[in-house]
Structure 1
Amino acid sequence: MQHTSGTRKWSEIKGLTAVTIDLGKKVGMVEDFYLDPQSHNVIGFIIKNGMFSHHSLSLSSIQGIGQDALTLTKEDALIKEQDNPALSSAFKGKDILSYRVLSEGGTVVGNLGNVLFNIELPQAIQVVGYELSGGLRQMISRQYPTFTAQQITRYGQDVLVIPDSVAAELMK
């Protein structure tokens, strides 16, 4: 799977400063994301804006995702999760990143290590793929086995299920 200019890894987005465009004010840091597993769409982010304080940010309020910051329209775009039912019922990235990848035949392929996003349109971010966590060879080369979001047949409670043929390619 090719890493293009419009594609960013979750590990590159997590921890970005969230800044308002209207006042140029830092309002927190990107801590997590919400995912609709049926469409592979990211539907929002969790912004940590205090020691124990978190707010949600829907994609419609995002202006852009740069190398150093995520920009949003204004501070009142930050909402409580319970104020948006779609966010409350969505998968959270931190949970998905603890998933194992399982073939339809029942073979554990590995653990998820990262998520790949298409961020060309900040109001329509999609998961385009997943990276497996790797061993020493992968960490040195920074080349991790990847598969596309479309290759997932099921999101389970704590596993992603992929076809046996995809699993065989990943285990080469």
Structure 2
Amino acid sequence: MDYSDEQLINMSIKGDTSAFGILVERYQNKAYAISIKIVQNHDDALDCVQDSFIKAFRNLGQFNFQSSFNTWLYRIVTNSSLDLLRKNKKYQNDVPIEKPLTDDDDEYFIQIEDEKSGVEDIVQSNETVLAVRRAINELSDDFKKVIILFEIEQLSLIEVSRILNVPVGTVKSRLFRARERLASILKEKGTF
């Protein structure tokens, strides 16, 4: 039987841990995708996701169904990931070596459509991607959150608003200012 999130949450609150396991299976990939974009380290992202699910399980009784479970969970994941970044300042301005660029890295890798493109074009594209990653890491937490959730995870303004627990207008404003700041950082570094 395919249970709704609400049914699984209610079953979990009553002590059915297998019901919560279904929620974990349902949302762990997206939770990881959000965390890895923020912490940019596989092991740290896994830790953040695990911690987030533990926090969610412990606080299920406080979940009030005014937003969707996934929105609530993604807010926990985002906050856990940002907390880890604050603790580990070493990630603030570094692009991790353990996450090399690959063709499968759709969010960061710029696809070269023209088969005649030379190695120089590919190298230049990879350098641009690295510059953008570094610039995102230089943003304030508020700007970093909206850029990652809206531009990289491609969530809607409403979803970002719910995850960050701010009005849609605030999301739009932060997104506008974050884009301006990104452009400024990239211009300062001579990338664009």
What TM-score does the superposition give when structure 2 sets the normalisation length? Answer: 0.26
Larger-gyration structure (1/2): 2
